[in-house]
Amino acid sequence: MKRTTTGTLGMILVLMTATFLSSGIAMAQDFGPRGERSPLTRQRFLENLPGMTEEQLSQISALGEEFKAASGFLREERKNLHDQLEAALQSANPDAITVGQLVISQRDLREQRRSAQEDFRATFQSLLTLEQQEALEEMRNRRRRGRRGLGRRSGDFSNDGF
């Protein structure tokens, strides 16, 4: 009797653990590495904007693919420069000119990426109606408010007692 009870409890524990783990996996499927939203989640988000048309969705999708290709190229270039810089710094006598040129090249790539992001955002905003832009800004504000915690770490100093 005792052996059957132990076996049953063990089986229940295994099933509960499997259920818990599978529910966590199912909930995390819309997120990629580092919590980034998947294209499917972005698509649902955009479809929920008021008055979003199929034409807007296709234009935004094409814009996103274009940005993804450009930023992927810049990311690869940045990685190559980073590897070159690491190699230069690991040498017994790093050449200051080479290191300086690599650092400047990295800065230039950051500026190119920032410029590409700004162009993407401006073009994205131009594809939306005023009502959609307002709804998007409201959604962003709600998300920002949701990320803030309570207390000092969030910048809330109102209850300091001073």
For 5-57, the pLDDT digits (tens) are 666 665 565 555 555 555 444 444 444 444 555 666 777 778 878 888 899 98
Provide the number of structural domains found in the chain.
1
Query: What is the sign of the dihedral through the CA atoms of 39, 41, 42 and 46?
Result: positive
Task: Give a yes or no: residue 148 inside a domain.
Answer: no
What's the whole-number average pLDDT of the chain? 76
The whole-angstrom separation of Cα 18 and Cα 24 is: 10
Residue 126: which CATH number? 1.20.120
The amino acid occupying position 134 is E
Torsion of CA 50, 127, 134, 111, to 10 degrees: 140
Task: Give a yes or no: residue 19 inside a domain.
Answer: no
Task: Give a yes or no: residue 88 inside a domain.
Answer: yes
The pLDDT of 58-67, averaged and rounded, is 91
Q: pLDDT-based confidence at 158, cuts 50/70/90?
A: very low
Greater model confidence, 3 or 147: 147
Domain that holds residue 124: 52-136
Task: Give a yes or no: residue 35 inside a domain.
Answer: no
